[in-house]
Structure 1
């Protein structure tokens, strides 16, 4: 075997490479930066579990072609300071949200199959709070 052949074999890329030692999970992640459409609301699910729901508006494009995307987010946070913090955020606060995204199919009232994006908050960070008239 020639030197060049041995070198080509030695430097050939592997066909598979493990990037993680953890088990594979089919889950989509999403990151949103935008403004709260309203103060987050606490409500009970049909199973009695508490959920905090809120919407985030994110803009893209320049002034002439600006488009706003609205994202509904749900957070399952137990009673305590973290829940109080989230439910006290005012409308207009700029937030950074990371979460799990799940597409769910449903049938509308006309019998058409559509899909809905559900976002489940994992982390939230407040980037800016709106200024009040007294500040």
Structure 2
């Protein structure tokens, strides 16, 4: 029997600053609103067309939540990998509501800060692995899934 895969990859721009919350246990939860845009030319009219989709992203992975909180701002371009998850809740008037989100769970997911222009802070004293786009790296250089990443000075060539 073959298993299944639930993996979403997004490259887009933040539509607003990250929304940061803290759970009762003190864990960070960061929500992002990420826009992806498709561009094409209408074959019949020759007119350039554009469509933007908005994606809700929720980060439960603590190291990535801290990076998002500290460095992401509205307009930042990000590369994300996570899982698609649908939540259900009931409104005060008894109506069921659903929300489908891309989630970065603890020890899973990828968050890479792309570019370097307006959109994310790049403080002089920040750790370079947090601002240069290294996505999987935790503070200790591990990826959170049992493997480690080589740093530039460890590569033999």
**Common fold: TM-score over 0.5:** yes
CA contact (8 A) 1:90 1:129 kept: no
Task: List alignment gaps of at least 5 residues for structure 1.
Answer: 1-17
User: Unaligned stretches of 5+ in structure 2?
Assistant: 41-46, 120-157
- Aligned match of 2:115: 128
What corresponds to 1:44 in structure 2?
A: 22
Highest CA radius of gyration, 1 or 2?
Answer: 1
Match of 2:68 among 86, 96, 104: 86
Give the alignment's TM-score, normalised by structure 1. 0.61
Contact 2:17 2:32 in 1 (8 A): yes
1:8 aligns to what?
A: none
SS of match in other structure, 1:97: strand
Give the distance between the partners of 1:114 and 1:43, measured in 2 at CA.
Answer: 21
For normalisation by structure 2, the TM-score amounts to: 0.54
The alignment's C-alpha RMSD in Å is 3.0
Aligned length: 108
SS at match of 2:34: strand
